[in-house]
Amino acid sequence: MDKLYVIKIGGNIIDDEEKLDQFLSAFSSISEKRILVHGGGKLATELAQKLAIPQQMIQGRRVTDLETLKLVTMVYGGWINKTIVARLQSKGVNALGLTGADAGIIKAHKRIAGEADYGFAGDVDEVNAPLLFEFLERGLTPVVAPITHDGRGQLLNTNADTIANSIAQAFSSRAEIHLIYCFEKEGVLGNIHDEASVIPQINSDNYHQLVDAGAIAGGMIPKIQNAIAAIDAGVSQVSIGKAENLHLIISGKSGTSIS
């Protein structure tokens, strides 16, 4: 295997039928091997309201108590994952829907409570790259939901960005890896209100300058930190951009490149 694309799509794309279909069509046309990691979208929040399951957010992250864990497992690992798999099948991609617990592909541990307790949130310990490699060699395209396990029977809710990063790093010694984070913006924006203000290149040298200037803030900070860590761990290329522009991102004509 010469090249592998590890591509993550966020909830805002999952929630938009037209954007999701455009993305999946572009994803389907990639000739090289690929792995898709997906986030959750708003369905879990909507169902939590209907089922009267209280939701708590800390710094933009969901606190996963036991009832919420049941809910996100059903939504992320069930409806969303299998809907994406079915749509890829319709586009000629032999997709295999997985959570981290399936075949033990992603083992994690429950995040240790510090200033905040995120409940059953998981931090990745290990990716079973040899088994994922075998799936890929058999012509299957893994579609991974953001649910992991601890090896002792406990499911965990794990950040999809982190899962994509961990998978990319696990394959870095096996192939040329292109890790792509797809979301609703054109890339990392210098001005969040201006889609034309894409920052074309971010590296460890200018990252802190951009944070100090306020160009990188909020949830984009851990995303860029993850991207830089992936490069440091041997991932060949990391890009962030608009889901519908996937082919332009791959060709380097759109989005933000991390180096």
Q: How many C-beta neighbours within 10 Å does residue 110 have? A: 16
Asked whether the predicted pLDDT for residue 115 surpasses 80, the reply is no
pLDDT value at residue 222:
81
Residue 59, pLDDT above cutoff 80 = no
Q: Please report the pLDDT score of residue 41 as a whole number.
A: 84
**Neighbouring residues of 120: CB distance < 8 A, sequence distance ≥ 6:** 64, 65, 66, 68, 69, 110, 154, 155, 156, 157
Token pair of 36 as six digits? 């898709």
Count Cα neighbours of 16 within 13 Å in the Cβ-side half-sphere. 14
The mean per-residue pLDDT over the stretch 182-194 comes to 89
* pLDDT for res 113: 78
Q: How many angstroms separate the CA atoms of 4 and 137, rounded?
A: 11
Q: What percent helix, strand, coil does the chain show, rounded to 5?
A: 40, 25, 35
Q: Which residues pair with 62 in a beta bridge?
A: 57
Confidence of residue 216 (pLDDT cuts 50, 70, 90): confident
Q: What is the pLDDT of residue 60?
A: 65
Q: Which two tokens stand for residue 134?
A: 């075998």
Compute the mean pLDDT over every residue in the chain, rounded to the nearest whole number: 93
Identity at 74, one-letter amino acid code: M
Fold of the domain spanning 3-258: Carbamate kinase (3.40.1160)
Residue scoring higher pLDDT (205 or 231): 231
Listed in sequence order, the residues at least 6 apart from 105 whose beta carbon sits closer than 8 Å to its beta carbon are 98, 127, 128, 131, 132, 142, 144
Whether 55 shows a pLDDT value over 90: the answer reads no
């090289």: which residue's tokens?
32
| Residues forming beta bridges with residue 150, ordered by sequence position | none
Taking residues 193-213, report their average pLDDT.
Answer: 89
pTM of the entire predicted model: 0.94
- pLDDT higher than threshold 80 for residue 35: yes
Residue 79 has pLDDT above 80, yes or no: yes
Order of all β-strands in the sheet with 3-9: 95-98, 141-144, 33-38, 3-9, 176-183, 237-242, 256-258, 201-202
- Under the banding of pLDDT at 50, 70 and 90, the label for residue 117 is confident
> Where are the domains positioned within the chain?
3-258
